């Protein structure tokens, strides 16, 4: 079975609801490496070699995080900046990531309706994920359709458990 690497970034998991539930639901699944970046690198000093080795060991990469200011949490950005080095991840010699897949698993405070031309975020979420999509593609990886959990503030009880299930199922079947 192909192995999945979940690169998880949430700066304040102690305050989180959605991602805490998601994390608990998937972190012990077989074939899944749950890699909690804020826990590993609380001072932002990322071990680049270790991160690159982890990438090489897995064929399916997941970027899991809440949407913050239409973008990624700061450490995720730092991770992209320092780990995806030229000549390794991209560039004419950077071919090691070729053929891997990347999928964003994100939660948003805004509802699905807010992410359309009539809503106050105007664009669908995918538009805001363009930078991530291009990053993956530049590194010769395939950027899969993202899994989005809208309306995170209102996501409770059954709705939250079914969200966790959706995520689990995806990981077990893909």
Interface contacts to ligand FMN, rule CB under 6 A:
16-19, 66-70, 107-110, 152
Q: Which is nearer to ligand FMN, 12 or 53 (CB)?
A: 12
The entry of other proteins, ligand FMN, none near residue 108 (CB within 5 to 8 angstroms by kind) is ligand FMN
Q: Is 42 in the site for other proteins (CB under 8 A)?
A: yes
Phi, psi of 27 (to 5 degrees): -65, -25
The answer to whether the CB of 98 falls within 8 A of the CB of 141 is yes
Q: Is 133 in the site for other proteins (CB under 8 A)?
A: no
Q: Per-residue x/- marks for other proteins, 13-32, CB under 8 A?
A: xxx-----------------
Give the residues lining the site for other proteins (CB under 8 A).
11-15, 38-40, 42-43, 109, 153-154
């Amino acid at each position: 079975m192909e192995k999945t690497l979940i690169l998880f970034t949430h700066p304040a998991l102690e305050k989180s609801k959605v991602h805490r539930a998601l994390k608990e639901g998937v972190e012990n699944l077989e074939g899944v490496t749950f890699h909690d970046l804020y826990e590993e690198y609380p001072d932002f000093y990322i071990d680049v070699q270790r991160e690159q080795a982890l990438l090489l060991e897995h064929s399916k990469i997941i970027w899991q995080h809440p949407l913050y200011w239409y973008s990624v949490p700061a450490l995720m950005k730092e991770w992209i900046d320092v780990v995806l080095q030229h000549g390794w991840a991209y560039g004419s010699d950077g071919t090691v990531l070729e053929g891997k897949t990347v999928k964003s698993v994100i939660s948003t405070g805004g509802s699905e309706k807010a992410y359309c031309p009539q809503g106050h975020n105007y664009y669908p979420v995918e538009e805001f994920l363009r930078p991530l999509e291009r990053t993956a593609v530049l590194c010769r990886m395939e950027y899969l359709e993202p899994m989005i959990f809208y309306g995170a503030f209102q996501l409770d009880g059954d709705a939250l458990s079914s969200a966790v299930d959706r995520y689990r199922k995806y990981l077990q079947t893909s």
